[in-house]
Amino acid sequence: MSQTRPQTPVGVTPPPTPPIPLTELLARTELGLRRIAGPPEAELLWVHTSEMADPYPYLLGGELLLSAGVLLKDPDAYVSRLVEAGAAALGFGVTPVFDTVPGALIEACDRHGLPLVEVPPRTRFTAIARAVWRLMAEARHRELRRVTRAQQALASAAARPDPVPAVLHQLAAQLEGRAVLLSADGEELHAAGRPPAPDVGEGLTRLARVVSTAMRPAPASATDTVRGAHLSAYALGGGQGLVLALALATERRSAGDHTVAGVAVVLLSLLAAPHQGADAAGRSAALVRLLLGAAPEDVAPLLGGTEEWTVVHARRADDGPVDPLTAGALGAALGSALVDAGRGRDAVRVLTPGGERITPQPGWTLGASAPAAITALEAADGQASRALGRAAATRAPLARHRADTGSGLAALVPPDRAEAHARALLAPLTEPLAETLRCWLSLHGSWDRTATALRVHRNTVRQRIARCAVLLDADLDDMDVRTELWFALRTR
């Protein structure tokens, strides 16, 4: 049994690319690859080519290392270092250095347990790398489709009259394992899936106590392995010192399982909350319905009759990860239980009543929208995102959306004519280019601050702005041009 270890805090994030079995690459007959030593099974995370005598310092682990043996002097030491670096397999190209794979290299790979693949003279290393990337893209597409289906199934289960057991049942089915909702003292509240062996069940209870302990800091999730079963536990947000835990036991672990579990954690954190008052429970129900695609006007009555809302985007000031409990604490500080901690990115979203005053929070960078009706939250979400980018670029703890007051020169142009002009002027630009141009202009043409706001490299900003200049056939150094574009970007 391995020792319990913390995981990355759970969030609804896209799954990583699954590793590629070596057997799938060998099955590509057009490459002519042949395993001649080492175990038949290996999982490839990427491809690397190196002719160094010792590539150890440049390997990350999981590579298919391709080499023609230009500096191969001591096969045993060479293979030993590859295994120590965590390389998944070695692909050896015959010619131009060797006519055949050296026997000493074959023996070393068998001795150290490293798969050795013979690369024929007609096969280029770039063709192998291209084949691996293609297989990885196909595997990621399959995994994304599986995760999407699982998310839809969990969302449908959350809308049933018995949502908690329904979500657990669907989660167990999607992961082909056991799903258990446990209290902080290990009491089994709900369970779904085939009951595990006694020692596996004990392992689940132990992990649940690790993440649901009242002592802080505690990990948001933890994993273990018992008798070949993969165990994991996730903390669910509680109140008044209570923290529940979702525990899972599966026979295998896929790349997207953590993402699927993250969706279940978000839903169960909202659903399994008997400690909530009627008002908080109603607001959580409204959030769940919004997550499931309900019309905003149908959800509005559940939100307590509030007419306007402010969307806040938040990011840790140290750019660190955010777990659901930390995000919930931020929501509480802002006076709201409507918190979205996982959107496949590092920003937390909080929905607060429009009349609440948004104040800077220690350790956070915030961007706030203008107050908006429930039917206009999509636009407010964009405002908050841009405000967060401006706050990060200017290193301010809080930035608010700068609403157009409708006064000044802009008020002299009829809105319909202004919109028509903006559409025609900006038609050549894609949305990413237009957003980059808007951000760059708002930050007075600063490459570094725009890169910080958009979280891209400064060279990417330069390339996008140069592309905008070409597509618009405009001199972006001309203040008159900048003014007209800024007017159009604010009007669109």
The amino acid present at 300, given as its one-letter code, is A
Tokens of 250: 């599966």
Q: Can you state the angle between helices 324-333 and 257-271, rounded to 10 degrees?
A: 40
CATH 1.10.10.2840 in the chain is located at: 409-491
Query: Region 445-451: what's the mean pLDDT?
Result: 88
Give the mean pLDDT of 1-7.
37
Question: What's the pLDDT score for residue 219?
Answer: 66
For 228, the token pair is: 């070949």
Could you say which DSSP state residue 13 is in? -
Cβ–Cβ under 8 Å, residues 296 and 42: no
pLDDT band at residue 110 under the 50/70/90 scheme? very high
Burial 33-43 (b: 16+ CB within 10 A, else e): bebbbbeeebe
Q: Which residues pair with 233 in a beta bridge?
A: 222, 247
* pLDDT in the model for residue 288: 52
Strand order of the β-sheet with 34-37 is 34-37, 116-119, 89-93, 63-67, 46-49
What is the rounded average pLDDT of the residues 240-245? 62
Q: Which residue spans of the chain are classified as CATH 3.30.450.30?
A: 5-9+142-271
> Do residues 405 and 453 make contact, with C-beta atoms less than 8 angstroms apart?
no
Pairwise CA distance, residues 229 & 279, whole Å: 41
pTM listed for this prediction: 0.46
Q: Which two tokens stand for residue 467?
A: 């592309």
Residue 57 has pLDDT above 60, yes or no: yes
Provide the angle, in degrees to the nearest 10, between the axes of the packed helices 415-426 and 479-491. 110
**Domain topology for 409-491:** Arc Repressor Mutant, subunit A (1.10.10)
Residue range 34-122, CATH number: 3.40.1390.20
Mean pLDDT check: name the lowest of 207-221, 394-408, 434-448.
207-221
The yes-or-no verdict on residue 202 having pLDDT over 70 is yes
**Token output for 6:** 């913390």
4 pLDDT more than 60 = no
Q: Cα–Cα distance between 214 and 184 in angstroms, integer? A: 8
Range(s) for CATH 3.40.1390.20 in the chain? Answer: 34-122
Tokens at residue 264, please?
């279940």
Q: Could you report the per-residue pLDDT of 116-171, keeping only the tens digit for each?
A: 999 999 999 999 999 999 998 888 888 888 888 888 888 888 776 567 788 899 99
218 three-state secondary structure: coil
C-alpha distances (whole Å) from 189 to each of 168, 213, 247, 438 are 11, 17, 11, 51
Q: pLDDT value at position 224? A: 86
Mention the CATH class of domain 5-9+142-271. Answer: alpha beta
pLDDT at 295: 66
What is the DSSP code string of 263-329?
A: HHHHHHHHHS-TTS-HHHHHHHHHHHHHHTT--HHHHGGGGTT--EEEEEEEEETT-----HHHHHH
217 preceded by a cis bond (ω within 30 of 0): yes
How far is it, in rounded angstroms, from Cα 93 to Cα 97? Answer: 9
